[in-house]
Amino acid sequence: MRGVLDIIGWSFVAAVTAWGVTLIWARLTVVQSRAAMQEEIRYWRAETARARAVAAQLKNEIATWSRGAQQGRQDVMAIMPLLVAAQEQVSGAKLADLTEV
């Protein structure tokens, strides 16, 4: 009978030890998973901040380019009459040169 009780006792000790080791291992795994998750969160927050900064910069560049393009169009529209007048003067001068010969 003593042998059976020893076996039951050692089986209980082994089961409790295995449960304790498994519990410690599970806790370590959860701690490591949480640390990895926090690192991932920090990474993606930094990426989000960088993406927002790039988006703000691009928005500014687009607005600047748009203003420049508008100014360019206005400049071309302002100079067109001068270009047309210069072209007419050149054409008239060539015609006058041809009639003199």
Q: In the prediction, which pLDDT does 100 show?
A: 59
Helix (H) or strand (E) holding 1: none
d(CA 38, CA 42): 6
d(CA 32, CA 1): 46
Q: Is the whole-model pTM more than 0.75? A: no
d(CA 60, CA 73): 20
Q: In the prediction, which pLDDT does 88 show?
A: 82
Does the pLDDT of residue 73 top 60, yes or no? yes
Does the pLDDT of residue 86 top 90, yes or no? no
In tens, the pLDDT along 21-57 reads: 999 999 999 999 999 999 999 999 999 999 999 999 9
Helix (H) or strand (E) holding 101: none
Q: Where are the domains of the chain?
A: 1-73
